[in-house]
């Protein structure tokens, strides 16, 4: 389903090039996204029955300080995963520096983000919070000065040594998002 949604968004972006304009150069913004999430255990769960994918979503808000830089806060719900039938939910609260490279006045821009946040793992009523590094990349198309749609990939990484050995755990998602600039 996610691939069909992503393809529909990309086709829509190419189908209406006359509508494209540069996004507003600065201002506050809000948005949200939906996509597929994946939890990577770095081998910690080898030999166990493990479901590592789900549907996730995020909401975000920030401020653009010109065409090339923004600061953003996010809440991301990566969904539910399971290990031997026991489910665990993963979410993150984070802050990001976002850099953008517009492609002239075409309405297209490439963006990347680096951030830091708190990843929460909720396992059968017990919650564990881990500090994590975040990174991501995407491409955005602006339909108007205030409204845009993007395809993006985001990833959180942290180390966990609660199982006796240190593992590099990651949770990430491929999303389609919408952004509105005030």
Domain assignments of the chain as residue spans, ordered by start: 2-181
Q: Say what the pLDDT of residue 85 is.
A: 80
Q: Say what the pLDDT of residue 74 is.
A: 98
Neighbours of 41 (CB within 10 A): 19
Architecture of domain 2-181: Beta Barrel (2.40)
Of 150, 156, 107, 109, which is closest to residue 136 (Cα–Cα)? 156
Which ranges of the chain have pLDDT less than 50? Answer: none
Q: Say what the pLDDT of residue 20 is.
A: 54
Quickly list DSSP for 69-100: EEEEEEEEEEEEEEETTEEEEEEEEEEEEEEE
Q: Say what the pLDDT of residue 104 is.
A: 87
Q: Say what the pLDDT of residue 72 is.
A: 98
Give the predicted TM-score (pTM) of the model: 0.84
Neighbours of 53 (CB within 10 A): 13
Q: Which residues contact 6 (CB under 8 A, 6 or more apart)?
A: 35, 151, 174, 176
């Amino acid at each position: 389903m996610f691939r069909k949604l992503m393809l529909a968004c990309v086709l829509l972006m190419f189908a209406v090039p006359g509508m494209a304009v540069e996004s507003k150069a600065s201002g506050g913004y809000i948005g949200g996204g939906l996509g597929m999430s994946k939890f990577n255990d770095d081998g910690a769960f080898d030999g166990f029955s493990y479901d590592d994918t789900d549907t996730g979503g995020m909401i975000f808000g920030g401020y653009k300080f010109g065409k090339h830089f923004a600061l953003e806060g996010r809440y991301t719900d990566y969904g539910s995963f399971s290990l031997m039938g026991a489910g665990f939910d993963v979410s993150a609260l984070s802050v990001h520096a976002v850099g953008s490279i517009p492609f002239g006045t075409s309405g297209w821009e490439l963006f990347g983000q680096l951030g830091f946040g708190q990843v929460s793992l909720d396992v059968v009523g017990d919650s564990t919070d881990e500090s994590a590094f975040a990174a991501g990349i995407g491409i955005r198309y602006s339909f108007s000065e205030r409204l845009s749609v993007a395809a993006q990939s985001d990833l959180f990484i942290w180390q966990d040594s609660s199982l006796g050995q240190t593992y590099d755990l990651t949770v990430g998602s491929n999303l389609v998002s919408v952004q509105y600039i005030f």
